[in-house]
A and B are shown apart, each in its own frame.
Chain A
Amino acid sequence: MLGYILRRVAQSALVLLVVGFVAFSMFRFVGDPIDNMLGQERTLEDIERLRAQLGLDDNFLVQYYRFLEQAVQGNFGLSYRQGREVSEILMERLPATLELAFVSGMLALIGGIMLGIFTAIRKRGVSSNVIMSVSLIGVSLPTFLIGIVLIYIFSVELDMLPSFGRGEVVDLGWWTTGFLTESGLKALILPAITLGLYQMTLIMRLVRTEMLEVLRMDYIRFARARGIKSRVINFKHALKNTLVPVITITGLQLGSIIAFAIITETVFQWPGVGLLFINAVQFVDIPVMAAYLMMISVMFVGINLIVDMLYFAIDPRLRVDRGG
């Protein structure tokens, strides 16, 4: 087990190194940042001065070393577009994205598991069929269209919820939260549904398939024969055994939630890191792109690692199989 964990940690470190190389290559080979920062009326002097200031005159190895050294400290230099520290901008934007991702993740997990169990138990019911058909449309519906539809219904027609922004936020010094104000919570509803809906349908379909599989097993039939209440069978005996694949997918989906937040944040003009990234792509703001890439890779790799560790905690069979 220890060997397995060590191997997984080494693999994760390798992935991060590869991503780091990609991020650095972006710095080195993509575009001329000077072009992006200075307008049409630039003089040769301006260009030279900015080049020296940004350290673009040094050779490849020096820049590479400097990049690695700085990246480990979370320092990605100045944004080409805003002229501010990238890490500062990221830290300012991160709470918005994490709060949104947390709420929609919980929504997807709780909603998905509930609906999955429901449609598996009532396999032939009308409501199950309706839920399944709707979920198929949900999978085909692009995230941004879900957002637009929700805005149209709840903001334009019913005028109940705000269509953009984060509402009022409370500044806690190192963290800004929208959880504590009414307008902040209201503003959270539509983006969270938009972002969580796709993951919810995914988790629901997975739970349903797994539950149907488990419910056919002998031990469930014996439990029924023993006269155990079906609520206990469904939630205690069956649900537990569907959890391993559900946790895998949910863990991986957590990463996608943060990535798909880019789309949701654009639709709702949510001031998070996703919106920052998409603006950086539009303006080829390499430091921001590279920093976002590194940040999100650390998150993804970390999540994957935790998910793998969780297997051991949840499924005792694995501990025996891979022992030593």
Chain B
Amino acid sequence: MTDTPIQEAAPKPEMTRLQRWWDSDFMYSFRHAPVAVVSFFVVAILVLAAVCAPLLAPYDPFNPATLNLMNGFTPPGDANAFTGESFFLGTDDQGRDVFSTILYGMRISLFVGFSAVLLALVLGVFLGLLAGYVGGWTETIIMRVADVQLTFPAILVAMLIFGIAKGITPAEYRDQMAIWVLILAIGLSDWVQFARVVRGTTLVEKNKEYVQAAKLIGRSPLAIMLRHILPNVLSPVLVIATISLALAIIAEATLSFLGVGAPPTKPSLGTLIRIGQEFMFSGEWWILLFPAATLLALALSINLLGDWLRDALNPRMR
């Protein structure tokens, strides 16, 4: 990257790409927004911890061989009365290490969240481009479907899709399929936001000269949509994607909490909170508190990051 001889020769040293990126408006506003910096690091650490869960987790909570029921209900930090083992964040009723279950649970929550947003993004952006660029009947149908779906809260649509998908999958595969059904349900409930914004921007962009020029040299409509218009509609999409991620993680947690999401054999943060709630009245607070705090930290920091991103990418705010 760095080309030292040229840099020394030039009167004003050429900036490397990294430096230019660091000095860009975007990074400038990032460095001067402490909330955004803190949120970014919280999200980064949590995502990293989730990705590296098998390396970081002291126990494998899903391997029955390593579980010892005698270790059940060990409070955080204390040694267990029977086995003498101690656990950083305590254990649940089955003697599973809470810290390890949170790491693995976060992995599932984040996987479902990212995948669902990706599904919603691809579907929404494509349908939005199609509606905006092609117009006519295509547009009417896509946007009417979007309107009807928007009448209903996303979480309700997700529950319905989950229920229907559960009905279609044979009973013996339900637990295995649950994660994929969740992704499908949350993703399909969330594409409308993307489609509406992309359609709006596309309607503006398609009359610009570069699109006319591309048409003139005979590029196919698909190529114009994907290679020419798409790059120009991406920044609002990025903002929606970030906020959608927080919403998707909350939606997943909510569905799992309600018992229509990740099964207890593959618990996400929502499932862990559902399990923990049962022990709230008997005083084992740690089984509930730590997963709940993790979920809150994750959702809040992504939300704050999205808030900042919206302002930073909005040209009117500069």
A→B interface (CB under 8 Å): 15, 18-19, 26, 29-31, 35, 136-137, 139-145, 148, 151-152, 156, 163, 255-256, 259-260, 262-263, 266, 277-278, 280-282, 284, 286, 289, 293, 296-297, 300-301, 304
Cβ-neighbour of A286 out of B167, B254, B260, B300 (below 8 A): B167
Question: Chain B contacts of A262 at CB under 8 A?
Answer: 155-156, 159, 258
B→A interface (CB under 8 Å): 148, 151-153, 155-156, 159-160, 162-164, 166-168, 171, 246, 250, 253-254, 257-260, 273, 277, 280-281, 288, 292, 295-296, 299-300, 303-304
Besides A136-B304, A301-B151, 14 other A-B contacts (C-beta < 8 A)? A26-B167, A30-B167, A136-B303, A140-B246, A140-B300, A143-B254, A145-B273, A259-B152, A266-B259, A280-B163, A281-B163, A282-B259, A296-B156, A300-B152
CA distance A31 to B168 in the complex (A): 5
A256, B153: Cβ atoms closer than 8 Å: yes
Question: Chain A contacts of B171 at CB under 8 A?
Answer: 35
Cβ-neighbour of A144 out of B162, B260, B273 (below 8 A): B273
Which single residue of chain A is at the shortest CB-CB distance from B274? A144
Question: Chain B contacts of A139 at CB under 8 A?
Answer: 303
CA distance A286 to B168 in the complex (A): 12
Question: Chain B contacts of A136 at CB under 8 A?
Answer: 303-304
A137, B166: Cβ atoms closer than 8 Å: no
A145, B152: Cβ atoms closer than 8 Å: no
Cβ-neighbour of A266 out of B258, B281, B292, B295 (below 8 A): B258
B163, A284: Cβ atoms closer than 8 Å: yes
CA distance A195 to B246 in the complex (A): 20
Cβ-neighbour of B257 out of A18, A144, A293 (below 8 A): A144
Question: Chain B contacts of A297 at CB under 8 A?
Answer: 151-152
| Nearest-Cβ distance from residue B145 to partner chain A, whole angstroms | 8
Question: Chain B contacts of A286 at CB under 8 A?
Answer: 167
B280, A156: Cβ atoms closer than 8 Å: yes
| Nearest-Cβ distance from residue B108 to partner chain A, whole angstroms | 16
- Looking at chain A's contact residues, the main secondary structure is helix
| Nearest-Cβ distance from residue A168 to partner chain B, whole angstroms | 22
CA distance A253 to B250 in the complex (A): 18
CA distance A152 to B276 in the complex (A): 12
Are A142 and B280 CB-contacts (below 8 A) given A137-B300, A300-B152? Answer: no
9 A-B pairs in the complex with CB atoms less than 8 angstroms apart: A19-B148, A35-B171, A139-B303, A141-B299, A142-B299, A266-B258, A278-B260, A281-B159, A282-B259
CA distance A94 to B61 in the complex (A): 42
Cβ-neighbour of B153 out of A163, A255, A281 (below 8 A): A255
| Nearest-Cβ distance from residue B283 to partner chain A, whole angstroms | 9
A259, B156: Cβ atoms closer than 8 Å: yes
A281, B296: Cβ atoms closer than 8 Å: no
- Looking at chain B's contact residues, the main secondary structure is helix
B295, A142: Cβ atoms closer than 8 Å: yes
Question: Chain B contacts of A163 at CB under 8 A?
Answer: 281
CA distance A263 to B274 in the complex (A): 12
CA distance A137 to B259 in the complex (A): 25
| Nearest-Cβ distance from residue A8 to partner chain B, whole angstroms | 12
| Nearest-Cβ distance from residue B239 to partner chain A, whole angstroms | 16
Are A259 and B296 CB-contacts (below 8 A) given A281-B260, A289-B163? Answer: no
CA distance A243 to B221 in the complex (A): 44
| Nearest-Cβ distance from residue A293 to partner chain B, whole angstroms | 7
Which 9 pairs from chain A and chain B are nearest by CB? A31-B167, A30-B167, A281-B163, A140-B300, A284-B167, A259-B156, A259-B153, A256-B153, A142-B250
Cβ-neighbour of B254 out of A18, A29, A152, A263 (below 8 A): A263
CA distance A54 to B152 in the complex (A): 30
| Nearest-Cβ distance from residue A254 to partner chain B, whole angstroms | 11
Cβ-neighbour of A30 out of B148, B164, B300 (below 8 A): B164
A144, B151: Cβ atoms closer than 8 Å: no
Question: Chain A contacts of B152 at CB under 8 A?
Answer: 255, 259, 296-297, 300
Question: Chain A contacts of B300 at CB under 8 A?
Answer: 137, 140
CA distance A26 to B156 in the complex (A): 15
Question: Chain B contacts of A282 at CB under 8 A?
Answer: 259-260
Question: Chain A contacts of B273 at CB under 8 A?
Answer: 144-145, 148
CA distance A120 to B292 in the complex (A): 32
CA distance A266 to B255 in the complex (A): 11
Question: Chain B contacts of A15 at CB under 8 A?
Answer: 148, 151
Cβ-neighbour of B296 out of A19, A141, A156, A304 (below 8 A): A141
Question: Chain B contacts of A296 at CB under 8 A?
Answer: 152, 156
A140, B257: Cβ atoms closer than 8 Å: no
A281, B162: Cβ atoms closer than 8 Å: yes
A293, B160: Cβ atoms closer than 8 Å: yes
| Nearest-Cβ distance from residue A95 to partner chain B, whole angstroms | 21
A140, B299: Cβ atoms closer than 8 Å: yes
CA distance A304 to B152 in the complex (A): 11
Question: Chain B contacts of A266 at CB under 8 A?
Answer: 257-259
Question: Chain B contacts of A19 at CB under 8 A?
Answer: 148
| Nearest-Cβ distance from residue B254 to partner chain A, whole angstroms | 6
| Nearest-Cβ distance from residue B314 to partner chain A, whole angstroms | 15
